[in-house]
């Protein structure tokens, strides 16, 4: 399956969400699935959650997928509380994701 890795920085919030969203959408525009590497991301704000949900919906509408990799316990907890966790497939590493998709 054709997928490209996009690595997110340590924080996905209002200050970085626009840039991150544009980067993810540019991968989807190439008709590629996105492996969103969150292994270095320790904080996701509501703006960051919106980016993930929006790009998930864009991917799904195009028959593509957005996979999440290396999601920290703290970020996963926020996603669980908001109900966002059910939209995504999670993997521990990029390699594990690439091997299973």
pLDDT for 64-91, tens place per residue?
999 999 999 989 998 999 898 899 999 9
- The domain segmentation of the chain, as residue ranges, is 3-100
Q: What is the mean pLDDT of residues 56-71?
A: 97
Q: DSSP state, 55?
A: H
- Would you say domain 3-100 falls under CATH 3.30.750.24? yes
CA dihedral 14→3→91→84, nearest 10 degrees, is 40
> Across all residues in the chain, what is the average pLDDT?
95
Distance CA 86, CA 35 (A): 16
What b-and-e string marks burial along 25-45, b requiring 16 or more CB atoms within 10 Å of the CB?
bebbeeebbbbbbbeebeebb
- Which residue, among 25, 30, 98, has the nearest Cα to 67 in the 3D structure? 98
């Amino acid at each position: 399956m054709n997928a490209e890795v996009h690595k997110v920085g340590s924080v996905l919030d209002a200050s970085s969400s626009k840039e991150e969203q544009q980067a993810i959408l540019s991968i989807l525009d190439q008709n590629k699935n996105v492996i969103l590497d969150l292994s270095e991301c320790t904080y996701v704000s509501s703006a960051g959650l919106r980016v993930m949900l929006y790009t998930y919906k864009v991917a799904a509408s195009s028959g593509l997928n957005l996979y999440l990799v290396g999601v920290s316990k703290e970020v996963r907890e926020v996603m669980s509380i908001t109900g966002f966790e059910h939209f995504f497939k999670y993997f521990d590493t990029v390699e594990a994701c690439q091997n299973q998709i």
